[in-house]
Structure 1
Amino acid sequence: MLVNETKERTWHGHVKLADSFFKRFRGLMLVRNVNYAMVFVLPAETKANASIHMFFMLSDIDVIWLDSARRVVDFKTARKWRFYAPKEPAKYIIEGPVGLIKTLDVEEGDLISWTPSEEKERAVPVKVSLPDGLSFEKGTNGMALTESVREVKVKGN
């Protein structure tokens, strides 16, 4: 979720963080239908670090540059196969589907915040030997698919 705190506007889409070198390098390149936002956390607040290229992009995107206080310093709809740099130094970059800027009603100076979407770990079937008195309601032959110990029940209780 992205929030323009200045104007109390919210975008309820999926948000991912690009907070490592590899995630920032990969970004949204080769993503066919951008239907989520990506917040890039840059190592330093500079214009050079905040420059982006649209090479190998399969669609146009909306881009919002923020300073270290999360204030908008620049924004635009970025077109494929072009290069962009913000007007002022930036610490964060938000890239998302075209229409994101309009939904948040973004203007320079607005305060933007975000909440990354949770990404659950995948449950994997594991064979376990159970002590007497323990069972999994839906499991058979010692096979169980569980995400927490709250799902384990003791017989007779």
Structure 2
Amino acid sequence: MITNETKGRVWHGPVRMADTFFKRFRGLMLTKNVNYALVFVLPAETKANASIHMFFMLSDIDVIWLDSARRVVDFKTAKKWRLYTPKNAAKYIIEGPVGLIKTLEVEEGDLIDWSPSEEKGKAVPVKVSLPDKISFDSHNGAVMTESVKEVHAGKP
């Protein structure tokens, strides 16, 4: 969720963070359907660090540049295969689907805040030991076995 605190406007889409070199490097390149916002946390607040390119982008996006106080210093709808530099130095960049700027009613000087969406972790396989004997109630049709070997051997 992204909030324009100055105007009380909220965009309820998912938000991801680009807070490492590799996440910033990848950005939204080659993303077919930009349906989330990506917040870039830059290492320093400068115009050069905040410059973006739209090479290898599959669609246009809305971009909002913020200073270290999270105040808007520039914003625009970025077109594919172009370069952009903000008017002033920025510490954060928010890239998202076209319409983000309009929904938030963004203007220079607005205070913007965000809360990243929870990302689901990857499943990790875990070894679980099974008991030697498995028993079930006889009324549900299951058969009691003495071991897993009996099941594989076809013995009831």
Alignment TM-score > 0.5, same fold = yes
CA shift, 1:127, in A, is 3.1
Query: Are 2:58 and 1:58 equivalent residues in the alignment?
Result: yes
Please report the TM-score for the alignment, with normalisation by the length of structure 2. 0.81
Q: How many residues align?
A: 133
**Structure 1: unaligned runs, 5 residues or longer:** 132-140, 142-157
Structure richer in strand, relative to its length? 1
* CA deviation profile, 1:2-26 (whole Å, cap 9, x unmatched): 0000000000101000001000000
Distance in 2, matches of 1:112 and 1:130, equals: 53
* Separation in structure 2 between the aligned mates of residue 24 and residue 51 of structure 1, nearest angstrom: 12
Deviates more, 1:9-18 or 1:120-129: 120-129
- 1:20 aligned partner: 20
Q: What's the TM-score, normalizing by structure 1?
A: 0.81
Aligned-partner Cα distance in 1 for 2:52–2:121 = 31
| Structure 1 segments (4+ residues) deviating >2 Å | 122-127
Aligned twin of 1:110: 110
**Partner residue, 2:153:** none
| Percent identity of equivalent pairs | 83
How much does 1:128 deviate? 1.4
CA distance in 1, matches of 2:86, 2:121: 36
> For 1:68-147, what aligned pairs fall within 5 Å after superposition?
68-129=68-129
Q: Cα RMSD (Å) of the superposition? A: 1.7
Cα deviation per residue 1:107-140 (whole Å; 9 max; x = unaligned)? Answer: 0000000000111223445331268xxxxxxxxx
Q: Are residues 1:2 and 2:2 paired?
A: yes
CA distance in 1, matches of 2:102, 2:60: 15
